[in-house]
Amino acid sequence: MNIVRTHHCPGILLLLLLVVLPGSVRPFGFHAHRIINRMAVFTLPPEMIGLYKQHIEFLSERSIDPDRMAHAVEGEAPRHYIDIDHYGDDPFTLMPRQWDEALELYGEDTLVTYGVLPWHIHVMMQRLTRAFRERNTDRILLLSAHLGHYIADACTPLHTTKDYNGRYPSQRGIHAFWESRLPELYAHDYDYLAGRAEYLPDPLETAWALVEISHLKVDTIYQVFDSLLTSFPADQVYSHELRGQSVNRVYSPVFSEAFHQSLNGMVERQMRLAVRTTGDFWFTAWVNAGQPELEPMEERAISSRLLRRIKNDLRRWEKAGESKSREKPL
């Protein structure tokens, strides 16, 4: 069943963003995902940080692969979100944490349609643990990069709600506004000191805790946004910026600043949470694999085979995105 839902993954089809959203921001957008993976490296213990620092650029750049995959790889898009509010007024009580139990209660079609983010984080964690056991440098680094992406998505409030991009037409575009434009404008001033990575006794429960923490912020985002829309002069909400060779309508700097300030540090806190938790997951996977010695891998280059695969994948994902944009003009 093809359930690709581009609206939950702001980086999966840039063209759609440029046409639909009031703001041509780069798609916990590309900019934020790169920062989160980069800063997570510095949470790691001495036994791990050498390998991760050696390949910090790879970890940063590959953090955005899952958004690029979402429009090209069958079944990828639901891994980026969970519409937890679809499951009632008390969804965190009703929803089983274990996949098999949730499957029995709701069925696969429903779970996939409304997103599988926390369960996929757990799957990626298991894959990374296996890569550490096998001492497979390529897979350790690529899986670490991709796992960081999904953890960051779980720290993004609008990835946890069916109202991901507005409850009303006047709110359309709020998704990219919160997770892309605000980090683009303000992330360089954030404090990413998140402390040392710690062992997670129950990674799946941690993934669910991220979703719950994030979901609790959804109402605040909409309340702040609506209040500003009511109080701001209409001609100050949007402005136009030159991006490449195109002039695009974006939320104005003054409106963005007001939104950012009214959220009272929410975006910064969620990014710092993503940094810390990404480090926790990387560290836990390494511990669960038996703490293999990583120093011999530090000078090992990414294999030419993996680099060729990445290059081919990027070409294929781009082609798939162009094809879909032609199939579904807006």
- DSSP per residue, 294-314: -GGGTTPPPPHHHHHHHHHHH
What is the model's pLDDT at position 244? 76
Q: Distance (Å, rounded) from C-alpha 161 to C-alpha 163?
A: 5
3-state helix, strand, coil in the chain (%, to 5): 65, 5, 30
> Based on the number of CB atoms within 10 Å of its own CB, is 25 exposed (0-12), middle (13-18) or buried (19 or more)?
buried
What is the model's pLDDT at position 323? 61
- For residue 51, CA distances in Å to 134, 190, 251 come to 15, 26, 40
> pTM of the predicted model, to two decimals?
0.89
Is residue 242 helix, strand or coil?
strand
The phi and psi torsions of 155 (rounded to 5 degrees) equal: -90, 5
What is the model's pLDDT at position 246? 83
- For 3, residues 6+ apart whose C-beta sits below 8 A from its C-beta are 75, 77, 78, 112, 113
What is the model's pLDDT at position 288? 98
In the chain the domains, ranked by start, together with CATH numbers, are: 6-327 (1.10.575.10)
Helices (H), 189-300: 203-215, 218-231, 253-262, 266-288
What is the model's pLDDT at position 322? 66
Mean pLDDT of successive 10-residue stretches along the chain, which has 330 residues: 37 32 49 97 98 98 95 93 97 97 98 98 98 98 98 98 94 95 96 97 98 98 96 93 83 97 98 98 98 95 96 91 47
Look up residue 16 and give its two tokens. 């759609």
Element (H, E) at 104: helix 99-106
Q: Distance (Å, rounded) from C-alpha 34 to C-alpha 11?
A: 13
Element (H, E) at 243: strand 238-243
What is the model's pLDDT at position 248? 83
What is the model's pLDDT at position 207? 98
Q: Distance (Å, rounded) from C-alpha 121 to C-alpha 204?
A: 8
